[in-house]
Amino acid sequence: MLFAARFRQGMKAAIPIWIAFVPSSLAWGIAAQAHGLTLEEIVLMSAWVYSGPAQFAVLVPLAEGKSAATVLIAGFLMNLRFLPMSTALAPFFRGVKRLPLVLASHVVSASSFIVPYLQFQKERAASGGRSLADGYGNLGFFAGVGASAFTVWVIGTAAGFGVAMSFPTGFEEALKFILPGYFAGLLVAEMKGKTMPLICLASIVTAIPGALFNAGWGWLATAALIAVLGWRLEKWLSRA
């Protein structure tokens, strides 16, 4: 199928993502303004980093002027999850030249990964594997999902900045609660199994002594340790 037709198909499939991105992008824009970031910084971060969790991860260290290494490592660790997402999509873009692949990969995010991935799996099963050969068509679908969701995200964060500017004084507490509250809600809504709640609870509890021990690195180190321990425990339990 033609790239343009597949692009439009992708845009239609992305409508639920647009709806989900409106509150989260607004929330990020509002929180970033409340933490003192400028409109240029907010829009640049949304457009160039384009990762809600990583943007949240670096917001406080960036706003409080923590060391560059803290900011960069927090963002990097959060973005590591793009590796498996992008790897899973790669076989569907067979035959596509490197430049369009690199450009399109900028819009890989949790949401813009799952919609095309499920669609490609469905098409592969229906066509007996032939859909894998349509690399450019698949890229069109992915770009339709990713580019439209990306646009909603960037516009939403800029709008969030505007909304935060119009809040009267006395609402700072509530504005600063938006992002942690939203992410806590997201995590709970998609919680499965026993390992994830355990990891979350342990990370919440241990982050404080970690941060008291070292304000820059403590919480990062405890979170990484808890994740590895949870992962090892799960492997050990599944073997037993």
19 makes contact with other proteins (CB under 8 A): no
Which residue number, 4 or 224, has a Cβ lying nearer to other proteins? 224
118 makes contact with other proteins (CB under 8 A): no
The encoded tokens of residue 5 equal 């037709």
The encoded tokens of residue 87 equal 């790897």
Q: Which stretch binds other proteins (CB under 8 A): 6-14, 62-70, 121-129, 157-165?
A: 62-70
Q: Which stretch binds other proteins (CB under 8 A): 6-14, 97-105, 121-129, 153-161?
A: 97-105
Q: Which residues, 6+ apart, have CB-to-CB distance to 48 below 8 Å?
A: none
237 makes contact with other proteins (CB under 8 A): no
Which residue number, 13 or 88, has a Cβ lying nearer to other proteins? 88
2, 4, 83, 126: residue in contact with other proteins (rule CB under 8 A): 83
Which residue number, 125 or 208, has a Cβ lying nearer to other proteins? 208
Task: Select from 184, 191, 216 the least CA-distant residue to 27.
Answer: 184
Integer Cα distance of 119 and 139 in angstroms: 12
173 makes contact with other proteins (CB under 8 A): yes
Q: Which residues, 6+ apart, have CB-to-CB distance to 42 below 8 Å?
A: 28, 29, 32, 33, 157, 158, 160, 161
